[in-house]
Amino acid sequence: MLRALDLFGAEWRKLWGNRRVSGCALVVWPVMALGASLGLLLLNVLEARLRTVQLLSWTDVALSVWDVQSNLIGRVAVLAVAATLFAGEYQWRTWKNIVPRRPRVQLMAAKFAVLGFAILLTFIVMSVVMTVGFGVVNLVVGAPYGPDPTLNVIGDFLTRYSIRAGLSFVDTILIGAVVALLAMRARSVLAGAFFGLVVLLIDEALILILGTLSLLFNNESWLELLRLRFTYNLSNLSAILQGGGPLAPVPFPVTMNASGTGFTPPRWRPTRWRSRR
Amino acid sequence: MSEIAIETRNLTRRFGRVLAVDDLNLAVETGQVYGFLGPNGAGKTTTIRMLLNLVRPTHGEVFIYGEPVARNHGVLKRVGAQVEDATFYAFLSGRRNLEVLARISGVDVDGRIDALLAQAGLAERARDRVGTYSTGMRQRLGLAATLLTDPDLLLLDEPTSGMDPAGMASVRDFIKSLPAQGKTVFLSSHLLSEVEQVCDRVAIINRGRVVAEGPVSALLEQGGLSSLLIEAAPVETARAALAAWSPVDAAERPGWLYLAGAADDAPAVTQRLVEAGVAVHQVVRQRQTLEAFFLSVTGEGVVVEGAGGDAPGA
Ligand SMILES: Nc1ncnc2c1ncn2[C@@H]1O[C@H](COP(=O)(O)OP(=O)(O)O)[C@@H](O)[C@H]1O
Ligand SMILES: [Mg+2]
């Protein structure tokens, strides 16, 4: 067990020691949260008409981070980290140094664990920064920042937060598995990330492709194939775990919107901070 | 009888049409520095990769301390290895690289790391990124990395490549000191002088096949090729007197005679010359260099028993 922690520690140090990757793909998120808070503060101080923050609740702010993580941009961070973890050893020709020191299965497991926990930590820190940052903004402008943290509220929040964080972890590991396969085939970090992106884009574009097909053939059953998207399956799981029913595989009415971009409509946009529930 | 550290049985590896290693049977006893000598592309690195279970053999098996490595990864805990040039995480410091490798090995070595860095002459640069190191420094860090776990067996693949002469000499001295600490060394090299200086036994490999194997000293004498060089006057009288040894003119020494395989006959040769009234100026015992031997077993033309016929174009 201690030896497993040792291995995790080694991979963890390697990832964070790689400043270019950890900086661009991980550290940047809490920094962006800080920037968003400062920007919002500035806007609110300068321009009273933009005082929309008072409609925010700290629970929504904290949870919104997981929407960021699971959208395309958030997943690109996962791609970058995963490609580095899995193709880096080929590119730097360092596999030969570590494979004799540990069974391959353990090395791979450690990389997946580091990937999952690094993403988790990054976005937890981001949510703390953002919750506190937006809180400060609300304090400065004298707006309420509910709900009151009663035991019930906190309990409910923590449950939802853990579910979202847990799903992000699963999402990360799944994407990591795809990238690991691609990156280890390509033996290059950039190629691994690139092919990973292609897979993600195809996953997103399936809505467009299948939507078009269903319109062309006037047959909605094409859309049933969207159930194969792993993004759909994760959102579905998320909805079920959070007490909602199963989701339809298409996030919008087809007839109106099949020519849409294929992206799930963003729920998170700093200038439109209104609780949608 | 001492224990066998490395044993290969019919070890073979094919890459497409290239037979990189062909039916290799080695037995390396503990406490030796065992040389693995061959020109570039002979199959040295591929062999070491198979010893470490980095590459799967096409045929055959590797045993380290009697354990089959393919089925018992654990035995590699007793091994420290450096395959080809030393590679590291360029963005981490030398020290951090060793720490990471120690953790991956699952050994607690914090005390040793500073000692190893000092031994490698890297104490002052230990906190700099490896990306800023010279090739020689990286090679020395690589050697330090092989020693992290205090292994019983070291596999070193051309560890002096990229080093300056002083660095090479210190690495060789260091390798020579290892058997006294109870360690066994498997040293691959394409440098004959290196193997000659450092190794107790040597296997010579060419195109994936072992063409000769044995104690370095015995290989040097093998085939009765050790010879005598004689400077005597008049040379024609000397030639006649030494007819029993079939003398020939020495290649690069006009006026000298060359007696192949006569190294042990120096007293008898001198006596014959004196009896024939020849003035003997010099009798030089010419030991065959490993270099010459190497050429004779790997090069075209010269055939050494049990080696020459099937090596080229196999
Ligand atoms: N991964 C590989 N793929 C294809 N051929 C290889 C591979 N590794 C080695 N070889 C070939 O095997 C032969 C032996 O190579 P190698 O073991 O590196 O020799 P050495 O270390 O003695 O210089 C060479 O012909 C080389 O081109
Ligand atoms: Mg080599």
Contact A3 B106 (CB under 8 A): yes
* Cβ pair A197, A93 in contact under 8 A: no
- Does A149 contact chain B (CB < 8 Å)? no
ipTM score above 0.85: no
Cis peptide, bond prior to residue A147, ω within 30 of zero:
yes
B103: its two tokens: 């953790």
Chain A residues whose beta carbon lies within 8 Å of the beta carbon of residue B89 = 14, 17-18, 92, 94
Classify domain B226-287 by CATH number.
Answer: 3.30.70
d(CA B59, CA B10): 7
At residue A275, the pLDDT reads 37
Q: How many angstroms away from the CA of B296 is the closest CA of chain A?
A: 34
At residue A60, the pLDDT reads 92
Average pLDDT over residues B196-208: 91
Q: Rounded to the nearest whole angstrom, what is the distance from the C-alpha of residue B71 to the centroid of ligand 1?
A: 24
CB-closest option in A19, A20, A98 to B104: A98
Chain B residue at shortest CA distance from A18 = B91
At residue A50, the pLDDT reads 61
Domain boundaries, chain B: 4-219, 226-287
Highest mean pLDDT among A75-89, A195-209, B6-20: B6-20
d(CA A110, CA A116): 10
Neighbours of B44 (CB within 10 A): 25
Question: 1.10.3720.10, 1.10.150.170, 3.40.50.300, 1.20.120.1200: which CATH number matches B4-219?
Answer: 3.40.50.300
Q: Which of A7-11, A208-212, B159-163 has the lowest mean pLDDT?
A: A208-212
The pTM (predicted TM-score) of the whole model is: 0.80
**What are the two backbone dihedrals, phi and then psi, of residue B282, each rounded to the nearest 5 degrees?**
-145, 140
**Is the confidence at residue B312, as pLDDT, over 80?**
no
The H-assigned helical ranges of A18-150 are 19-22, 28-46, 58-70, 72-91, 95-98, 104-141
SS3 readout for B72-102: CHHHHHHEEEECCCCCCCCCCEHHHHHHHHH
**What are the two backbone dihedrals, phi and then psi, of residue A98, each rounded to the nearest 5 degrees?**
-105, -30
d(CA B54, CA A99): 7
Binned at pLDDT 50, 70 and 90, residue A252 comes out as low
Average pLDDT, chain A: 82
CB-closest option in A19, A100, A103 to B79: A100
**Which atom of ligand 1 is the closest one to the Cα of B49?**
17
A104: its two tokens: 């391959």
At residue A107, the pLDDT reads 94
Average pLDDT over residues B122-127: 95
- Does A7 contact chain B (CB < 8 Å)? yes
Ligand nearest to the CA of B83: 2
Q: From chain B, which residues contact A within 8 Å (Cβ)?
A: 49, 52-54, 73, 76, 79, 81, 83-84, 87-92, 96, 99-101, 103-106, 145, 149
What torsion, rounded to 10 degrees, do the Cα atoms B113, B118, B121, B124 define?
90
Binned at pLDDT 50, 70 and 90, residue A52 comes out as low
At residue A274, the pLDDT reads 37
**Is the confidence at residue B85, as pLDDT, over 90?**
yes
At residue A88, the pLDDT reads 92
- Site residues for ligand 1, CB cut-off 6 Å: B 15, 18, 20, 38, 40-46
Q: What whole-number percentage of chain A has pLDDT above 90?
A: 43
All residues at 6 or more sequence positions from A97 whose CB lies less than 8 Å from its CB, including other chains: B83, B87, B88, B101, B145
Average pLDDT over residues B99-119: 91
